[in-house]
């Protein structure tokens, strides 16, 4: 869920910048939260600024923390033991974020061998991100800590199952779903709990949201896996099981995206804040377009910037009319 969709710039306004991040970033010459989101995110860089406060700030900080975890998972060039140690260290820092400055040297000497400057910048700025996490209200902080801890444990299981070169090859559709749940379904569940924490008006549809949250995340992750299959395989990540027909994965992704649409419809039915509906609807629109492209043209294709702009305009028009996003 975190990494689904095309890259893009933020839309209007800030992304819920935290004083702790801004002050620490300025002192260290590190990028601000807005810059980190744009440099490290895809769909979330488009949609986080749409959220109302305090959810916007909570989700922005949560995204960056999950992105740090993703960077460790993707660090195939690191020895397996080092990747597992980094997961454990990040998990410990959620309980004691003040210790981040003592741990960061181990993450950067040398940094993960990933050719992505934004991810390297995020690791360097991780103490400031953890300072901002520590500033959050207790309820939001505990939601993030609980779910990120579960994701770290899931990532560790899959890294431990990789071979000595760090190559992960999933062999069944069940394993693919377990992986998607660990890295994206849990993110969907975390977002759901943050929304419910911050917006009492969502209570009547809480169970409808919770029952679809994991599928929402799984659908976005499956689209990303299908789209990036070629590049992932070259970098040692073979998520698509060789013995599973591509059509079965496409069908599962489409079913998940329908569950995601039902999630968004539930928000619309209770007149959730416009920004919350937009935040959840936009990734679904982009993922559906990406899935159509992948089905027609194969992996490696991306939704064009003009098409992204068109989808955003369509979403805005629907919300202006008070109509459902789909």
pLDDT of res. 43: 63
Residue 218 above 70 pLDDT? yes
pLDDT band at 60 (very low <50, low <70, confident <90, very high): very high
pLDDT of res. 110: 83
State the DSSP string of 90-143. HHHHHH-GGGHHHHHHHHHSSPP--S-HHHHHHHHTHHHHHHHHHHS-HHHHHH
Residue 32 above 60 pLDDT? yes
Q: What whole-number percentage of the chain has pLDDT above 70? A: 90
pLDDT band at 23 (very low <50, low <70, confident <90, very high): very low
pLDDT of res. 232: 78
Q: Using alpha carbons, select from 65, 45, 206, 221 the residue that is nearest to residue 146.
A: 65
94-141 pLDDT, tens digit each? 999 988 888 888 898 888 888 788 898 899 899 989 999 999 999 999
Residue 305 above 60 pLDDT? yes
Is the model's pTM score more than 0.75?
yes
Residue 225 to residue 134: CA distance in whole angstroms: 33
* Domains present along the chain, CATH in parentheses: 19-321 (1.10.600.10)
Residue 285 above 90 pLDDT? yes
pLDDT of res. 11: 27
Residue 208 class from Cβ within 10 Å (0-12 exposed, 13-18 middle, 19+ buried)? middle
162-207 pLDDT, tens digit each? 988 888 889 999 999 999 999 999 999 999 999 999 999 999 999 9
- Mean pLDDT: which of 156-165, 227-236, 315-324 is highest? 315-324
Q: What is the mean pLDDT of residues 29-39?
A: 72
Mean pLDDT of the chain: 87
Query: What does the angle CA 4 – CA 91 – CA 81 come to, to the nearest 5 degrees?
Result: 90
Choose between 292 and 36: higher pLDDT: 292
pLDDT band at 42 (very low <50, low <70, confident <90, very high): low
């Amino acid at each position: 869920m975190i990494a689904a969709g095309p890259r893009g710039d933020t839309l209007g306004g800030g992304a819920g910048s935290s004083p702790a991040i801004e002050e620490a970033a300025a002192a260290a010459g590190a990028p601000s939260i807005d810059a980190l989101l744009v440099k490290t995110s895809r769909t979330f860089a488009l949609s986080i600024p749409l959220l109302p406060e305090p959810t916007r700030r909570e989700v922005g900080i949560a995204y960056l923390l999950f992105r740090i975890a993703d960077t460790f998972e993707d660090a195939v060039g690191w020895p397996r033991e080092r990747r597992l140690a980094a997961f454990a260290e990040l998990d410990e820092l959620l309980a004691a974020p003040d210790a981040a400055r003592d741990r960061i040297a181990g993450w950067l000497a040398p940094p993960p061998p990933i050719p992505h400057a934004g991810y390297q910048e995020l690791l360097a700025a991780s103490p400031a991100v953890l300072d901002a996490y520590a500033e959050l209200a207790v309820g939001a902080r505990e939601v993030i800590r609980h779910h990120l801890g579960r994701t770290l444990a899931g990532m560790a299981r899959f890294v431990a199952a990789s071979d000595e070169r760090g190559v992960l090859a999933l062999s069944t559709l069940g394993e693919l779903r377990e992986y998607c749940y660990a890295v994206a379904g849990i993110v969907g569940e975390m977002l759901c709990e943050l929304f419910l924490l911050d917006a009492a008006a969502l209570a009547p549809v809480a169970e409808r949201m919770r029952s679809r949250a994991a599928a929402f995340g799984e659908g976005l992750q499956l689209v990303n896996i299908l789209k990036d299959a070629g590049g992932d395989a070259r970098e040692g990540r073979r998520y698509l099981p060789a013995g599973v027909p591509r059509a079965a994965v496409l069908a599962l992704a489409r079913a998940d995206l329908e569950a995601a649409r039902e999630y968004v419809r539930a928000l619309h039915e209770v007149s959730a804040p416009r920004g919350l509906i937009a935040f959840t609807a936009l990734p679904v629109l982009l993922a559906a377009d990406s899935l159509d492209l992948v089905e027609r043209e194969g992996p490696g294709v991306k939704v064009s910037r003009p098409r992204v702009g068109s989808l955003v305009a369509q979403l805005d028009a629907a919300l202006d009319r008070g109509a459902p996003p789909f």
